[in-house]
Every structure is written in C-alpha cells, then in structure tokens.
Structure 1
C-alpha cells in the first residue's frame, strides 16, 4: 500500500495490537501465536495490526493483508524509553517492511542524549518515505513530534510517564484537543477497554484507534473480571 491507501484503510477504524512479551502466557520462543491473533482480528473487521519484534511482524504480514504498525520494545540503561529507541531498531523495522513505524515520543532522552523530536528528524532524514507514529503522553510532546515530522501521534503513553501518572482512563478531552490542534493524525491508544469508549474516542476526533489488552491479552481480560467479582463480594 502507498501512503494514501494506508491513510484511507485505517481511517475511523480499529487497529488491533497483537503483542506478547516473554513473561506473558501467549509468548512462545518460536512465535506463531500472534499471527493467529491477527487473523482473528482481520476476520472481525480490524483495519490494521500493531505488533512488536521483527519475528512477529514478519509472521503476521505473511498471513494478514493489513497495514502493520511496527515497534521493537527494548530496555536501555539510563533511560525509561523502551519503544523503538535507537536507529538499530528503526533499521530492523524498515527492513521487515512495516507500514507505519512507531517510536516513543515522550520527553525522556534516548541513550545518546537525543530528544524524541531530534530522533524523529533523524529517522525521517534517513527514511523520508516511511510513515512514522510517535507514542506520546502530553500535548507538548505531540506538537513537538508532529513538528519534527511524525505523521501520526498516538496517546499510547498517557498515564505511563511521570508527567501523566494517575491517568488511568482514556482522556477524551485530550484526544479532542489533539484532533483540533495537532497537525499529525491522532490515533487513540491506551486505556480503551470497551466498545463504547472506542466509539467515543472517534467521536472526539481520533483518526483511528489501537486496542490491545482488551482484545488480545486474556490474562489482562480475566483480571478485569476477577477484580470486579471481588468488588461485589
């Protein structure tokens, strides 16, 4: 797909995040589980997939004809950044054909001291035709990343950074403000647990949605139910 086709494909649609980290029950060393999740999502109308690691992305793209938002999660000493942090991860993701490359766009510095906007400019200079999404937590981060060249900003990190601690629900007012003022296309992601929230995020102005834990993480879904039952007792 070219850029315009990707924009059209995902507009006002549901992108399903299909990820399993090593400590999670659906993780296997050889993979094979996330492509099944992606196929199930595609069968039910998902317009795209978000996936982690070259292995999972490659396996998913082999069985699902949908745009893939690709990331590589990796911890680095001295920084809280962990989503596509260095150019090594970018090179690997571009090499496996991701449709949209996602990087962390929060205010912390990368291991080499670069800010998120500096890193985005570097990526865009190296790969000018690559669509790029910045995972942000604040309005200021979104605006800075968009100005640096991000095609999309995702609310992925809201509630998961020191500046946004305590935000545990999808912030519809934040989505609306971004949709109105940020030049990048806004993808609502994070804390979306129910279909009604997804619909409301689109009504607030989101270009598209990413939902993961509420669909593809059975341990997380089960925990939500068991917590509610405990509250009733």
Structure 2
C-alpha cells in the first residue's frame, strides 16, 4: 500500500524555489523525509487572481488512481500561501483541487515526472465578494485589511482586498456586542484564535453576518455583531 502523508512546509517551499536540478533528490529527502521510490513532492503557491495575493489557510487536495490503488493527500497553505505535499506518486494522473473557505477552485489534472514539481494554483474570490451564498464565513477585518490576524484566520473570517471601509458600511441590523477573554496576559495566537472562534460562534447564533469595530486588549477581544447587506468594497 502506498504511503500517504501530507505536509505543509512553507519554509520548504522557499528552499525548493532556489534548488538546482542536480540537487532535487537531496532536496526531496530534506523536505519529504524517507520518500518511497516512485513518489515525489508537489509544491507551489495558492493565490487569488484578482487580488494577486497568497491565500493562507487554503486547502489543497490531491487524489489519484495508480494501478488500481486510489489515494488522497491534502494540506493547508502557510502564512505566505505556500504549500508542499509529499509522497505523491509519479507518473500517475493527479487531480489537484484548491479550496479557500467554502470557495472551490477548479480541479486541475497533472502527471508528475520529476521528483519535485512546482504547481501554482490560482482562482478567483470575486464571486464571493459581497454575496456568494456558498461562503458562510463571517465578514470581518480585524485591525485593518492587511492585519496578520485576518490572514492567519482566513478559514473563519473573510476580509477581501478593498474592504478597508467595512466599519462604515450601512448596518441593516444590529445584534449587539460580542466578546471573549483570552487566558493570561500577553496571550499567544492559540488563545487569540480560541477567543475569535467564540466571538464568531456568538455572532452567528445572533444571526449576524459581519463583525465590525473591533477592540483588542492584552486579554480580551470584542466586536459589534451586525448584518450588512451591501458589498463592503462599496463602503468608503
């Protein structure tokens, strides 16, 4: 049975970018230790073709049927939008499918002949901007569009390019303030994410689709839960 393990190694993607062809075998074992014969690595970037930016937290799913042996591996992109998938069979037809939140990219068919193959995946999030019924993420730009919190939690909250004025959007319905406490002073990312997930869950229970006017302190997180019915890109 073919070994199927998925890894996401953003640093490995950068290392591969500068690798010379003669170093590929060595690089493969460094990025994907103990790679079985007949397998390779698929790596690249997942980006939004409209905003031309890497998408952290996107998923990449690869499926195949090699000599009757069906396989599947998947992973998530790192902060920069890079991914690395290990132990992918060579010479087999692969279906590579990126997703971001509830937005599906189109599957791409590819067959790997080299131990290391770069495959950048690009799809549009425009359809989700302001009205895609299939994307149920909460609209929220915590600390601004370019804030790292939004990128690291893109699976839960949506903050598209051009949404700088989301806090100024007309509110169709107000649902009140939601807040959560982060354990310990100077809480790290895990505590922040737990607090963020709690706030999102509370907002959804109240029927809100957006969170605006965020406040972040050393040990708490709060925002206003509202319903916005316009495209945030139009709010100035």
TM-score > 0.5 by shorter chain: no
TM-score, scaled relative to structure 2? 0.25
TM-score, scaled relative to structure 1? 0.25
Q: Which structure's CA Rg is the greater one?
A: 2
